[in-house]
């Protein structure tokens, strides 16, 4: 009955009743005056989606899902062992009413998200960009200034038929959202995005607890439960946005492959694309040639993965850095022997140019006579006179080994021959004399 006068009588009745038992007869008459919805209330239309049951796709990659509770009840401290489900088709929220003992009622809501949301939202660990809890105020006190707080409940291991004050789940009292109830027969909303949790829970459910914002019998509020009227039942509206993948590199015009489609980075080295929730394949080139002796080489992803191809499970906006670093070519040349050290090096990397062996016999007759080609020094990027040269790469490099002919062996042989001949001639002369 919208805007109708209501009378609520708290009276002494037998223990176990949802009414407040007191040691003395104590009757309070509360009149809910015929007032229109106040500015704190909001218009509410039930979401009736098509593609995902109670979900519907909206413009801009948004998915809106409306979920009604699978369990809604309240716990009463006056009857701590009695389940309140079925006692009234309302969710009662009370904090320290003037009865003896002081009465408290906490409402509990559980939403089975897995019955409505697409499976891919759970498998991709998607987080809603917005979550709004809607409740329909059926009755409050004549003061029309109730404060109701909504808390997140980590455990979903409860149901409406067995929940009591003694076994109700723990409530995270550190975080909550609040709203003021100024009128009846009106919808009220709580933005629960911040208390919903970082991602959808693995069991596919989420629970909330509602309690008064301050201690007073003037803060009593009754909200419609599912059993009262399905059109005014509590509802949790979740909004998911298709995730945006941002790939960052230091290189413009770098081709990257996303699910088989090649896309180039912009002039700032960035690719930004909106993708469906779920698994996607990414591939980046291992290198990008810049010149004959210069290139950009892939060094790994920002999350320490080093393979150029990877798989991502995209549930929320994600930024990945594909890291590249400049490499220069070092060329090591020598007319003799074999060289080591030619190849590609990152800027600042230490390279070693080496030639082995350091001497070889000269080809032809001179070689037969013992003439050798001997390493003398390096030219170009190296200036060492040793067969091995160490250098720091700061650009394209070339190290060339310079050799010289070494006549030491034939010279020594010649000297020995001359000495032998001289000795032989000397002995021959002595014999004649």
In order along its 433 residues, the chain shows pLDDT tens digits of 222 222 232 222 222 333 333 322 222 333 333 333 333 445 443 333 333 347 899 998 999 999 999 999 999 998 999 998 876 777 877 665 555 567 788 999 999 998 889 999 999 999 999 999 999 998 887 566 788 999 999 899 999 999 999 999 999 888 999 999 888 899 999 999 999 876 677 778 999 999 887 766 567 888 999 888 888 999 999 999 999 999 999 999 999 999 999 999 999 999 999 999 999 999 999 999 998 999 999 999 999 999 999 999 999 999 999 999 999 999 999 999 999 999 999 999 999 999 999 988 888 777 677 788 899 999 999 989 999 999 999 999 999 999 998 887 777 777 888 778 877 777 777 777 6
**Quick one: pLDDT at residue 244?**
97
> Residue 376: which residues within 8 A CB-CB, separation 6 or more?
385, 402, 403, 404
Its CATH architecture, for the domain 244-325, is: Sandwich (2.60)
Q: Could you read off the pLDDT of 187-201 as tens digits, one per residue?
A: 999 999 999 876 677
> Residue 253: which residues within 8 A CB-CB, separation 6 or more?
264, 265, 267
> Residue 417: which residues within 8 A CB-CB, separation 6 or more?
none
Phi-psi region of 270 (alpha: psi -120 to 50; beta: other; left: phi over 0): beta
| Partners of 97 in the β-ladder | 103
- Tally of residues, the chain: 433
CB 57 within 8 A of CB 51: yes
**Quick one: pLDDT at residue 11?**
28
Cα–Cα distance measured from residue 29 to residue 220, given in angstroms and rounded to the nearest whole number: 13
Would you kindly state where each structural domain of the chain is located, as residue ranges? 6-241, 244-325, 334-411
């Amino acid at each position: 009955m919208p805007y109708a006068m209501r009378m609520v009588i708290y009276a002494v009745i037998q223990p176990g009743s949802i009414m407040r038992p007191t040691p003395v007869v104590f009757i309070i008459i509360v009149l809910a005056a015929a007032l229109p919805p106040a500015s704190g209330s909001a218009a509410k239309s039930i979401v009736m989606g098509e593609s995902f049951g109670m979900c519907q796709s909206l413009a801009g990659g948004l998915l809106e899902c409306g979920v009604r509770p699978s369990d809604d009840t309240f716990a009463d401290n006056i009857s701590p062992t009695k389940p309140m489900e079925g006692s009234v088709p309302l969710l009662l929220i009370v904090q320290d009413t003037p009865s003896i003992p002081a009465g408290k009622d906490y409402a509990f809501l559980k939403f089975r998200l897995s019955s409505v949301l697409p499976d891919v939202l759970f498998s991709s660990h998607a987080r809603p960009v917005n979550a709004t809890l809607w409740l329909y105020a059926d009755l409050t006190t004549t003061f029309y200034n109730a404060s109701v707080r909504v808390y997140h409940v980590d455990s979903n291991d409860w149901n409406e038929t067995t929940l009591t004050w003694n076994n109700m789940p723990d409530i995270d009292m550190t975080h909550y959202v609040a709203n003021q109830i100024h009128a009846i027969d009106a919808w009220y909303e709580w933005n629960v995005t911040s208390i919903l949790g970082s991602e959808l829970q693995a069991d596919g459910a989420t629970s909330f607890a509602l309690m008064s914002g301050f201690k007073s019998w003037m803060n009593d509020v009754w909200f419609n439960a599912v059993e009262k009227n399905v059109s005014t039942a509590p509802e949790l509206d979740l909004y998911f946005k298709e995730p945006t993948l941002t790939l960052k590199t230091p290189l413009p015009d770098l081709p990257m492959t996303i699910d088989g489609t090649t896309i180039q980075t912009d002039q700032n080295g960035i690719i930004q694309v909106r993708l469906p929730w779920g698994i996607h394949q990414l591939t980046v080139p291992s290198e990008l040639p810049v010149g004959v002796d210069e290139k950009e080489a892939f060094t790994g992803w920002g999350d320490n993965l080093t393979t150029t191809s990877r798989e991502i499970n995209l549930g929320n906006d994600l930024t990945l850095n594909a890291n590249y670093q400049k490499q220069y070519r070092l060329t090591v040349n020598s007319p003799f022997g074999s060289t080591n050290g030619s190849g590609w090096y990152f800027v600042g990397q230490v390279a070693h140019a080496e030639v082995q062996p350091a001497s070889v016999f000269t080809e032809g007759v001179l070689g037969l006579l013992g003439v050798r080609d001997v390493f003398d020094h390096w030219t170009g990027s190296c200036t060492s006179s040793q067969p091995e040269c160490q250098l720091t790469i700061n650009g394209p490099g070339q190290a060339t080994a310079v050799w010289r002919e070494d006549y030491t062996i034939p010279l020594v042989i010649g000297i020995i021959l001359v000495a032998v001949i001289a000795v032989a001639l000397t002995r021959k002369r002595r014999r004649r004399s």
